Structure 1
């Protein structure tokens, strides 16, 4: 385990996830989140090379053997270090660690970074003060929203950032619309209209000049839609990136 803070004692393990480890765009999100943790004085650690895929993609694709092999390997590592609390920036990792790992002996207090950030703000450990002028809409990630009923926390983080104005899409919250990456479909070649293109049209209807999300898969898909539809003027952010600019 690699400590990311010199203070003794670890409050939380940051589960970085595959996207934030290997995708250039999402590495920036991980860096922003780590900066926030340091600014808040959070004592955290990462597993580094000992962190393996949670097993979510192979399980969704139907390879249960590979998924369980990954899960049991991670549980062994986490239990060896005595990990009790985990924060994840990826809703797919969050959902798997929270709801599926207990079946394999991995019982931890797992929170999504939107929940953790709101907790830091509410406790006074973080105070957003710098103005971030953005008129944006928020995209609900499926595994965060409909699967785990986390709708308010990411929005409340955005509301606390001075200068940010949020407008809702018609299809939001429990009526939200998938970005097109769920169920491991990110790696499938789509036929007909692409799901992420349809979601971009929902964003366009709000006339917002940016979209925020709290999922690396969604960020990748929204980035792709904006680039392939020549709408790069619509900026794409993770909520942590916006909060990082305000503190």
Structure 2
């Protein structure tokens, strides 16, 4: 009888320990992508409102105005996500993919500024077909940075590049990010070929918003988190 009670007691303890380990693992694997989704749309709204106001005051083709509108509409969420990453950095918990993702987006913000300025100085028609890549980098250079940062995060976590790559190609957020990076320039080029031109700041904002699909990877991450 005592042996049976002892066996049942040990079995119950094992079950409790296993459940605790599973809960801990699930908590560790939660990557907090839901926190990133909410940062996208404020940038859209602020960028569009800025574009409309600049048009009203006669700055339809102001290069500085375009820089501001594209930065807000195309990269506004990266600023907020950068703040999120800074906040998470000072927490005692281990770094998550979402935090690494946010750092990558923050570091990618200034890249399109250099590309835009260099293109204008080189005489590129920023309103024509040849200038389609400028809104692309405003809207997705941060996404490229996030993808690279995510890969580096996986390398640190897995220990080797081979293991990191295997994890990368199975990670839904990274794959969604990669798809966005390659699909968006085709859409921008097609729209320019069909005659669209950002001749007003409102059009500039709308083009940046349409190209800024950075909300898709965090949405995929949020969906995967909910499925756990």
Same fold (TM over 0.5): no
Q: TM-score, normalised by structure 2?
A: 0.27
| Greater RCO structure (CA 8 Å; 6+ sep) | 2
Question: For the pair shown, which has the larger CA radius of gyration, 1 or 2?
Answer: 2
Q: Which structure has the highest helix share of the two?
A: 2
Q: Which structure has the highest strand share of the two?
A: 1
Q: TM-score, normalised by structure 1?
A: 0.26
